[in-house]
Amino acid sequence: MSAIGTVRKVFGGGRLSAFGLACAALTLAAPAHAQDDKMVPIAIPAQPDAIVLGTGPLPGATAPEVWHQQYGSLFARNVTVATLTPYLPDPAKANGTAVIVAPGGGFRTLSMENEGSDVAKALAARGVAAFVLKYRLNQTPQDMAEFDRSMTAMFSNAARPTTRLKPEAAIANLAPQIADARAAFALVRKRAGEWHVDPSRIGMVGFSAGAMLTMATTLAGQDAKPAFIGLVYGPLEPVTVPADAPPMFAAIAADDPLFAGKGLGLIESWMAAKRPVEFHLYEQGGHGFGMYPKTTTSTGWFENFAAWLRMHGMIKAAG
């Protein structure tokens, strides 16, 4: 079966548009209500709590930021100025742990709710200070129809056999996004007292492209130094693991049309380096399940992640 055929099988036959097919493979997978796959342009939502990170506008960018609704969720694209939005727990419940949340979207769009604010709110409910990183993106056509065609073309290219860029090599290609992540860590540490955060307990969780950014930020070293990382349906290629690599949580579905079935090199790399790692392979879930309610066991990834954080002392045990 072709890659496009696989995505159609996983995400509901012919009901998805060309854009839906492309995005299903690139991180905007439909939830159970796949009929909502039509993109609807919307005004940029008010973001009163968003903090500009000061990494500057994306060099050479000309298209302004735009948002749309799809699958009952919100997405941003053509982001040229990075921001960080806090989702803080009740101070009485704050446990000192913080997580920077990196949504996915193929570095062309960001799943701001399913892989952003919905995750952050769930973490805050458990006493964790969460921060959604709206990082800078590659430019896309302003017109929706042209954007649809560009995503379909990108998906077609992704379906062809290619040599995937190794995670270490991706660092140079993701310089703006890594700079955004580093600035996010610096800001949370700077305001740790105000936000009831322990500066030594700031981690990062990313989804698809956001998982790539999380790994690239970890491997880049420098001053970010996540205390722990979560990679949800990201690539599993082997890497050279730093001696001080943080504990890693990883989750993916076996029917993921992008990253499953290509070996577990990343997990084996962490194990060989004798660094803490927990890995969940769900039978079903496709790509991009995030916080969408689905009938597959992949929906349980968040509770697994929270239990893992609890095991590491990052979340207080109930009672």
317 falls within a domain: no
Tell me the CA distances in angstroms from 229 to 90, 140, 174, 214, one per residue in order.
24, 29, 18, 7
Task: Output 168 or 105, whichever has higher pLDDT.
Answer: 105
Number of domains in the chain: 1
Q: What is the DSSP string of 71-118?
A: TTEEEEES--S-EEEEEPPPTTT--EEEEEEE--STTTEEETIIIIIH
Question: What CATH number should be reported for the domain holding residue 225?
Answer: 3.40.50.1820
318 falls within a domain: no
High-pLDDT (> 70) share of the chain, %? 83
Q: pLDDT digit string (tens) for 264-315? A: 999 999 999 999 999 999 999 999 999 999 999 999 999 999 999 999 999 9
Quick count: other Cβ atoms within 10 Å of Cβ 102? 32
- Distance linking the first and last C-alpha atoms of the chain: 50
**Total residues belonging to the chain:** 319
Cβ-proximal residues to 87 (8 Å cutoff; 6+ apart), any chain: 117, 120, 121, 123, 124, 129, 130, 131, 132
131 falls within a domain: yes
3-state secondary structure 249-299: EEEEECCCCCCCCCCCHHHHHHHHCCCCEEEEEECCCCCCCCCCCCCCHHH
Q: What residues make up the domain containing 189? A: 3-311
3-state secondary structure of 145: helix
18 falls within a domain: yes
319 falls within a domain: no
Closest CA to 291 of 107, 53, 29, 45: 29
19 falls within a domain: yes
Q: pLDDT digit string (tens) for 2-37? A: 332 333 333 332 233 333 333 434 433 445 444 568
* Residue written as token pair 């009929």: 35
Q: pLDDT digit string (tens) for 61-84? A: 999 999 999 989 999 999 999 999
Q: pLDDT digit string (tens) for 115-139? A: 999 999 999 999 999 999 999 999 9
33 falls within a domain: yes
pLDDT at residue number 165: 53
216 falls within a domain: yes
Q: pLDDT digit string (tens) for 196-243? A: 999 999 999 999 999 999 999 999 988 999 999 999 999 999 999 999
